[in-house]
Structure 1
Amino acid sequence: MKRTVARRIPAVLAALAVATSTSVVLAMSPASAAAGTATGYASANGGTTGGQGGATVRANTGTKIHEALCSRASSDTPITIEVEGTINHGNTSKVSGNSCDTAAGLIELKRISNVTIIGVGSGAVFDQLGIHIRESRNIIIRNVTVRNVKKSGSPTSNGGDAIAMERNVRNVWVDHTDLLASGGESAGYDGLFDMKDNTQYVTLSYSTLRNSGRGGLVGSSESDQSNGFITYHHNLYQNIDSRAPLLRGGTAHMYNNHYVSLNESGINSRAGAKAKVDNNYFKNSRDVLGTFYTDQAGYWQVSGNIFDNVTWSSPDSETNPAGPDPKSTTTVNIPYSYKLDQTNCVPNIVSRTAGANTGMKESDGTC
């Protein structure tokens, strides 16, 4: 197919340039960081507070994480689980109890609520072990690395997803995480951050998603349109083939993200989905926004983005790229407050703040 190239937009709209973040860059203690303040859509629908107000326990194995969940008085008793060390198949087993529903071979957050999992000390790494959230609400995951989770080969975990949510999930905040793979589906991996079957009010912030065929999806098929109200901000997507993310129905808000080397497609809005795309920086990528691989259209509202060496496909029956001169095709009303960093500062800000073991720093709006 014929491709055209859109070069870097030289300046951000002046009206958006003044809408910069005023939060302070700082590292927090584990206690204050665990409490945190959810942003984006995770702050709506009653808010996301995780285990705030409950007991704090320490775990250095997956089994101990499950034991902490199972030791609560009830499945909704608040708890903060501080995790340090490498969590893997060898130290993660099923634990039984009235306040939990766990399984071996993954971290299972099923039919529970009011839980925070946070990496502390020298860091928490979930190695080849995915985190699964199902029929749960009010969950916070911060300052952890989840890497190389596979659906084929050995060992397998969580259907190949680093973090996956499904079936009646509400209010999840995932913040300052590293979600990593070492290839695409042919190498045994699936998505890094997936949501399906009625998952709503989720925020992914200050995280890195790298080296995967699939960044993540919202909706498992064109008919799974019960998901939505998702915010993605201050994240790095790097060396991702597609699904950054894939939206099937629902509403999503992407702002101040840095996208580098999206190899096939990026934000894929389809099946009636609406994406609000503000002040993001796209670099060395192709088809970073549009409707792809389907004739079921999605929509977008764009402002303040920079497209630096981005290539665009020619439209056809299953390809509707937003570029080379992206224009809004819908309007999205955002119910929460937020402040935009200047787009030309986004690569620097994200490089300083996104990911695990960065002191959970946040943007101060400066380059």
Structure 2
Amino acid sequence: MKRSVAWRIPAIVAALAVTTSTSAVLAVSPASAAAGVATGYASQNGGTTGGQGGATVRATTGTQIHQALCGRASSSTPIIIEVSGTINHGNTAKVSGNSCETAAGVIELKRISNVTIIGVGGGAVFDQLGIHIRESRNIIIRNVTVRNVKKSGSPTSNGGDAIGMESNVRNVWVDHVNLLASGGEPEGYDGLFDMKNNTQYVTLSYSTLRNSGRGGLVGSSESDRSNGFITYHHNLYENIDSRAPLLRGGIAHMYNNHYVSLNESGINSRAGAKAKVDNNYFKNSRDVLGTFYTTEAGYWQVSGNVFDNVTWSAPSSDHKPAGPDVKSTTSVSVPYSFTLDQAACVPNVVSRTAGANTGLKESDGSC
């Protein structure tokens, strides 16, 4: 049984404070924020543009988000939904319409396309309320906080996932978000960022994932290998027990992420998965890369990573850490261009850029 992380967690606040020094970052202007430019695998397969070119509406409740989706001419009509305030169970009702399939107690993006959800103003917080993407494509989520989503206890939402994707999902870009819980499965929480059942071409960038037993997975079981083409870059994983992420099959690219206090395991490549792991900074963590909790091996290509106070367990039949002598076991090529920050600069850059309410700042390549 995996141990709970609840005892290590400080008080949770409505929004996470992040340093906003202009050193080594570029701020994105408000005029371009809603559109943005998708990076990594989300830029492939035709690209991810969300609601670009569509109407812009404001929402301060979950019901209003659903109303905006249901008020479109069709399920594919582009729309940008600007969200402010706190979205919770009390203000998120089911709304019916020909262009939507919504549900109460969850932000439901089901069988739709061409949608951007972006936090504006003083911030957007989804409190104990998850975002569920199912059978949808071309979705952008930016500049929001999703916290304390539970699968057991009360209230529950989205199977305990902060953001969850499943069933033939394509092209999702999640950028500058805060995802956090207050413990692990014993406290009622599941994953912060989960993908399963044929989800592909996803990028998670400039985001924070904190205080959870499970950071996220790609594939719900050893047989669920239809997922992949996922990019994770410039994210902070902090105080996570495992799944940073868990990969079952498929290809994933992790670069310029800062991993702090991965308490049991980190990047878990298994069941034939291939992970390209470039210029990340791992600190005060355990077994940050390998194949764990299974005998079905995964693989990795490593380059330029920093392992700062990382401990490695002895290998066994179902627990095969990549270290302490970390070497590549496969080769992985990606179809998009990307620029690497120096691994030694990653903690500094990520601290100034990652998360909601940072002005959508990005690295400019300097330390």
| Normalised TM-score (structure 2) | 0.93
Cα-to-partner distance string for 1:180-202 (whole Å, 9 max, x where unaligned) = 00000000000000000000000
> Is 1:348 aligned with 2:339?
no
The amino acid of 1:259's aligned partner reads Y
Q: Deviation at 1:366?
A: 1.8
Higher RCO by CA contacts (8 Å cutoff, separation 6 or greater)? 1
The aligned residue for residue 89 of structure 1 is 89
> Is 1:270 aligned with 2:270?
yes
> Is 1:99 aligned with 2:92?
no
The aligned residue for residue 132 of structure 1 is 132
> Is 1:64 aligned with 2:57?
no
The aligned residue for residue 10 of structure 1 is none
Is contact 2:230-2:252 (8 Å) kept?
A: yes
Provide the secondary structure at the position in 2 that maps to 1:349: helix
Listed as ranges, the matches of 1:35-184 within 5 Å are: 35-184=35-184
Unaligned runs of 5+ in 1: 1-22
Listed as ranges, the matches of 1:285-296 within 5 Å are: 285-296=285-296
Separation (CA, whole Å) in 2 of partners of 1:27 and 1:323: 37
Is contact 1:30-1:120 (8 Å) kept?
A: no
The amino acid of 1:79's aligned partner reads I
Separation (CA, whole Å) in 1 of partners of 2:103 and 2:231: 29
Q: Deviation at 1:31?
A: 3.4
Is contact 1:26-1:359 (8 Å) kept?
A: no
Q: Deviation at 1:29?
A: 3.8
Q: Deviation at 1:24?
A: 7.7
The aligned residue for residue 260 of structure 2 is 260
Q: Deviation at 1:25?
A: 2.9
The aligned residue for residue 330 of structure 1 is 330
The aligned residue for residue 203 of structure 1 is 203
Unaligned runs of 5+ in 2: 1-22
Provide the secondary structure at the position in 2 that maps to 1:347: helix
Cα-to-partner distance string for 1:217-256 (whole Å, 9 max, x where unaligned) = 0000000000000000000000000000000000000000
Please tell me the root mean square deviation across aligned C-alpha atoms, in Å: 1.0
Provide the secondary structure at the position in 2 that maps to 1:350: helix
Separation (CA, whole Å) in 2 of partners of 1:225 and 1:207: 25
Residue-pair matches, total = 345
Provide the secondary structure at the position in 2 that maps to 1:74: coil
Separation (CA, whole Å) in 2 of partners of 1:30 and 1:161: 29
Separation (CA, whole Å) in 2 of partners of 1:33 and 1:317: 48
Separation (CA, whole Å) in 2 of partners of 1:28 and 1:255: 21
- Sequence identity of aligned pairs in percent? 87
Provide the secondary structure at the position in 2 that maps to 1:348: helix
The aligned residue for residue 217 of structure 1 is 217
